[in-house]
């Protein structure tokens, strides 16, 4: 019996696996050898294709639903497919222009841009878009403003170097004159300090300044308790946009998507990975090490302030997605967000740290 060169067999399997995944992504139905014989130019007999598909199944790249004679990709099969995409198709120019036009609105604060970005990712992918706010340790204090707005009420505005702005009204009888002195002193002492360190330092600084004044200490305690605790948050949009897909007729993955806003720790757990390279990453099903994501794929990238990664954005959808297109979309949005962040300090029409 003539032996086929192992290199040839390997290449045939690769092409068949890609064809199965391509067809399954397109139709959502198990793929049989007859369809591959008819629709793809393999120049192989149906029996050879069946044998190669069987080998791919034995090797863990395909699986065989008991209700069908066709096969579907496994997580391992999807991973092989994604890794084999040597050149991720770039979005055509009009698509990139379309994405940029979505940002042609007056965005004055980082939070506005984060919400807008999750909506853009969802709208263009038709899946679930998300973006994670900058890491806590990247949030350094840029400016603190204390403004008396009523007899016993003070508006406090905190701005971080990443562009996050936090507003808080606190109860305090401290006079406007003392607030002005406090504002200058706190900015001089705390500017450039991480929010965690600033929270520890603020009481000590006020204690040194006015040890005997209880009202100042009460204000310091209020600031430390309520203002210097900017936690990482996740903006999610379009969780219901995938409900019509066959994969989500099972309630469990849909329940997971709809509860992401309540269980952000799940997504944080999945995203706790090294993104230092800045490359687009793909997590497929069980690779997410989180049972709730076993039927989903995540395509993610970091966004940066200068050269420093400060957060993560991406899309969540079914494993049966057009990976080249989704990866190109995430890459393009990440690049645009990076550009906007780079301009935030010099562009008066963009995000502003000061009102």
DSSP secondary structure string, 36-83?
HHHHS-----HHHHHHHHHHHHHTTSEE--TT-SSBEE-HHHHHHHHH
Q: How many angstroms separate the CA atoms of 25 and 322, rounded?
A: 7
Is the domain of 104 the same as that of 237? yes
Is 273 a domain residue? Answer: yes
- Final residue of a domain: which of 195, 226, 257? 226
- Final residue of a domain: which of 202, 226, 250? 226
Is the domain of 154 the same as that of 125? no
CB neighbour list of residue 342: distance below 8 Å, 6 or more residues apart: 305, 306
Is 1 a domain residue? Answer: no
Look up the pTM and report it.
0.73
Is 117 a domain residue? Answer: yes
Is the domain of 103 the same as that of 248? yes
Q: How many angstroms separate the CA atoms of 196 and 143, rounded?
A: 15
Total domains present in the chain: 3
Token digits for 164?
A: 């996050």
Q: Note the pLDDT of residue 303.
A: 87
Can you give the CATH number for the domain in which 271 is found?
3.30.450.40
Q: Note the pLDDT of residue 305.
A: 76
CB neighbour list of residue 170: distance below 8 Å, 6 or more residues apart: 153, 154, 156, 219, 222, 223, 226, 227
> For the segment 27-36, what is each residue's pLDDT rounded down to a tens digit?
888 998 888 8
Q: Note the pLDDT of residue 142.
A: 84
Is the domain of 245 the same as that of 285? yes
Is 141 a domain residue? Answer: yes
Is the domain of 249 the same as that of 106? yes
Q: Note the pLDDT of residue 243.
A: 58
Give the up-direction half-sphere exposure of residue 334: CA atoms within 13 A in the CB hemisphere.
25
Is 61 a domain residue? Answer: yes
- For residues 353 and 159, the answer to whether their CB atoms sit within 8 Å is yes
Token digits for 215?
A: 């009202």
CB neighbourhood size of 109 (10 A)? 17
Is the domain of 129 the same as that of 113? yes
Is the domain of 333 the same as that of 279? yes
Rg (CA), the chain: 27
Per-residue tens of pLDDT for the chain, all 355 residues: 456 688 888 888 999 999 999 999 988 889 988 888 888 878 888 889 999 999 999 999 999 887 667 899 999 999 999 988 755 555 655 677 778 777 766 566 677 888 889 989 998 888 889 888 776 666 678 888 888 888 888 888 888 777 677 777 888 887 888 888 888 888 888 888 877 787 777 767 666 655 546 666 666 666 666 555 555 677 778 766 665 566 665 555 556 666 665 566 667 666 666 566 668 889 998 887 777 778 889 999 988 877 777 788 999 888 989 998 899 899 999 988 888 887 765 554 444 443 3
Q: Note the pLDDT of residue 88.
A: 55
Q: Note the pLDDT of residue 193.
A: 84
Is the domain of 130 the same as that of 170? no
Can you give the CATH number for the domain in which 60 is found?
1.10.10.10
Is the domain of 128 the same as that of 219? no
Is 317 a domain residue? Answer: yes
Q: Note the pLDDT of residue 17.
A: 94
Can you give the CATH number for the domain in which 148 is found?
3.30.390.60
- Final residue of a domain: which of 83, 117, 147? 83
Structural domain harbouring 111: 93-135+232-343
Q: Note the pLDDT of residue 228.
A: 57
Is the domain of 130 the same as that of 142? no
Is 351 a domain residue? Answer: no
Is 191 a domain residue? Answer: yes
DSSP string, 171-233: E----HHHHHHHHHHHHHHHTTSBHHHHHHHHHHHHHHH-TT-HHHHHHHHHHHHHTS-----
Is the domain of 157 the same as that of 115? no
Is the domain of 109 the same as that of 252? yes
């Amino acid at each position: 019996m003539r032996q086929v060169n192992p290199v040839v067999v390997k290449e045939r399997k690769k092409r068949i696996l890609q064809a199965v995944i391509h067809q399954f992504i397109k139709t959502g139905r198990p793929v049989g050898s007859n369809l591959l014989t008819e629709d793809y130019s393999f120049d192989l007999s149906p029996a050879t294709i069946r044998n190669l598909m069987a080998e791919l199944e034995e090797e863990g790249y395909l699986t065989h639903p008991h209700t069908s004679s066709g096969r579907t990709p496994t997580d391992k099969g999807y991973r092989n497919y994604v890794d084999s995409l040597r050149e991720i198709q770039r979005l055509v120019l009009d698509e990139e222009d379309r994405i940029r036009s979505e940002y042609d609105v007056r965005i004055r604060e980082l939070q506005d841009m984060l919400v807008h970005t999750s909506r853009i990712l969802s709208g263009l992918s038709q899946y679930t878009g998300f973006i994670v706010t900058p890491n806590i340790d990247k949030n350094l204090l840029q400016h603190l403003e204390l403004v008396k707005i009523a007899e016993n009420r003070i508006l406090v505005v905190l701005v971080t170097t990443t562009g996050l702005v936090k507003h808080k009204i606190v109860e305090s009888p401290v006079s406007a004159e003392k607030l002005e002195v406090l504002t200058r002193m706190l900015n001089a002492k705390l500017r450039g300090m991480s929010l965690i360190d600033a929270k520890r330092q603020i009481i000590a600084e006020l204690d040194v300044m006015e040890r005997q004044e209880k009202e100042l200490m009460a204000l310091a305690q209020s600031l430390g308790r309520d203002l210097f605790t900017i936690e990482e948050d996740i903006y999610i949009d379009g969780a219901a946009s995938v409900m019509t897909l066959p994969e989500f007729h099972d309630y469990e993955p849909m329940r997971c998507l709809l509860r992401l806003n309540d269980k952000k720790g799940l997504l944080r757990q999945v995203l706790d990975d090294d993104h230092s390279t800045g490359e687009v990453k793909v997590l497929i099903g069980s690779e997410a090490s989180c049972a709730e994501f076993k039927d989903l794929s995540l395509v993610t990238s970091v966004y940066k302030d200068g050269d420093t990664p400060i957060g993560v954005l991406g899309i969540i959808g079914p494993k049966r997605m057009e990976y080249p297109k989704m990866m190109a979309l995430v890459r393009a949005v990440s690049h645009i967000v990076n550009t906007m962040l780079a301009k935030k300090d010099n562009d008066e029409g963009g995000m502003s740290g000061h009102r």
